[in-house]
Amino acid sequence: MKICLLGLDNLAVLAPEHREHYVGGESVQQTLLARALTARGHEISMVTADYGQADGAVWEGIRVHKAYRPEAGLPVLRFVHPRWSGLWSALARADAQLYYTSCAGMQVALLALFCARRGRRFVFRSASDSDCDPSKLLIRYARDRWLYAYGLRRADAILVQSAAQAASLARHFGLPGRLAGMLVEPASAEQERDIDVLWVANIRRLKRPDRMLALAARLPEATIHMVGGPLPGEEALYAEVRREASRRPNLVFHGRLSYHDTNALYARARLLVNTSEVEGFPNTYLQAWINGVPVISYLDPDGVIGRNGLGAKVESPLRMRAEVLRLLGDRSALAAAGARCRAFMEREFAEDRILAPYLAAFEEVIRNRIRTAGIAATSARRHV
- pLDDT digits 0-9 by tens, 197-217: 999 999 999 999 999 999 999
Per-residue model confidence (pLDDT) at position 279: 83
Contacts of 369 (CB under 8 A, 6+ apart): 97, 98, 119, 120, 121, 156
Q: Are residues 31 and 74 in the same domain?
A: yes
Per-residue model confidence (pLDDT) at position 360: 97
| Residues counted in the chain | 384
In a domain, 379, yes or no: no
pLDDT digits (tens, 9 = 90+) for 327-370: 999 999 999 999 999 999 999 999 999 999 999 999 999 998 77
Domain that holds residue 202: 195-348
HSE, side-chain direction, 13 A CA sphere, residue 231: 11
Work out the pLDDT band at 280, boundaries 50, 70, 90: confident
Residue 317 maps to which CATH number?
3.40.50.2000
Radius of gyration of the chain (CA): 22
Q: Are residues 282 and 150 in the same domain?
A: no
pLDDT digits (tens, 9 = 90+) for 290-338: 999 999 999 998 899 999 999 999 999 999 999 999 999 999 999 999 9
How many CB atoms are located within 10 Å of the residue 282 CB? 22
Q: Are residues 156 and 34 in the same domain?
A: yes
Number of domains in the chain: 2
Whether residue 376 has pLDDT greater than 80: no
Q: Which of 256, 283, 284 has its CA nearest to residue 271?
A: 284
Give the Cα separation of 326 and 384 in Å (integer).
Answer: 77
Whether residue 167 has pLDDT greater than 80: yes
Q: What angle do CA 201, 202, 208 make, to 5 degrees?
A: 70
Per-residue model confidence (pLDDT) at position 198: 98
Q: Are residues 238 and 316 in the same domain?
A: yes
pLDDT digits (tens, 9 = 90+) for 5-60: 999 999 999 998 898 888 888 999 999 999 999 999 999 999 999 999 999 999 99
Whether residue 156 has pLDDT greater than 70: yes
In a domain, 304, yes or no: yes
Whether residue 232 has pLDDT greater than 70: yes
Work out the pLDDT band at 382, boundaries 50, 70, 90: low
**φ/ψ bin of 214: left (φ > 0), alpha (ψ from -120 to 50), beta (otherwise):** alpha
The structure's pTM equals 0.87
Q: Are residues 363 and 344 in the same domain?
A: no
**φ/ψ bin of 358: left (φ > 0), alpha (ψ from -120 to 50), beta (otherwise):** alpha
